[in-house]
Homo-oligomer: A and B are copies of this chain.
């Protein structure tokens, strides 16, 4: 078994050196936190199994979900700028992680340029993901937002060699709504609508995508008449 939990793209020899940095943690229970907003930044984390939600609390005390992370994905970069995590990260289900102490990673990067480059790429991937979310939030209807999220999760699971049509949503409707800038009720209604249109089969947190093309079309142009 390949125990490394980082995305690939590095020489095997360098990979070995990277691997020794990584600490495997004992699994987290649902709702258990990885780090809290404001804590000193120490490490970045990779999801081995399970899923993570990250969120911040804004001026008026409301929670704002900023990301969901699935196996193979990294989180924790938000702490780098201020040396303190901006978000809180919690497990949505039983979740196991790899911890990568940033200082060690940084040291390794200083001696091996290719590792340095690699880390940079990982960070800037987070930028790209965030910008995609910005575009989604700014320009789209509730249906488009939800369709995008479902397709995004589907794509991300494919990369882990899991089914691309049957997915398990570890987060609540409320958390989805919060993430997408919608209310719980709207999320529920849109899922109901998609189900009636036979785009999805929804069974609580279990979703089967029946018509991927229809969802994709929806994103490109707002829905036509009923």
A180-B137 Cα distance, complex, nearest whole Å: 9
Q: Is the interface of A mostly helix, strand, loop or mixed?
A: helix
A126 within 8 A of B: yes
Residue of B60, B106, B109, B131 near A78 (CB, 8 A) is: B131
The answer, yes or no, to whether A130 is at the interface (CB within 8 Å) is yes
Q: When A66-B131, A127-B81 are in contact, do A138 and B60 touch as well, CB less than 8 Å?
A: no
The interface residues of chain B lying within 8 Å CB-to-CB of A113 are: 106, 110
Q: Which residues of B contact A106 (CB under 8 A)?
A: 113, 116-117, 120
Is A164 on the interface with B (CB-CB < 8 A)?
Answer: no
> Is A30's CB within 8 Å of the partner chain B?
no
A128 interface hit (Cβ, 8 Å)? yes
CA distance A58 to B113 in the complex (A): 34
A204 at the interface (CB under 8 A from B): no
Q: Does A134 contact B (CB under 8 A)?
A: yes
A28-47 vs B: 1/0 string, CB under 8 Å?
00000000000000000000
Complex interface: chain B residues within 8 A of A221 (CB)? 60
Contact pattern, A 167-192, Cβ under 8 Å of B = 1, otherwise 0: 00000000000111100000000000
Residues facing B in A49-90 (CB within 8 A) are 56, 58-60, 62, 64-66, 77-82, 86-87
Nearest Cβ on chain B to A176's Cβ, whole angstroms: 11
- A179 smallest CB distance to B (angstroms): 7
A11 to B197, CA, bound (A): 61
Which 10 A-B residue pairings sit nearest by Cβ, starting from the closest? A138-B181, A80-B124, A130-B130, A137-B137, A81-B124, A64-B135, A60-B220, A81-B125, A110-B113, A59-B220
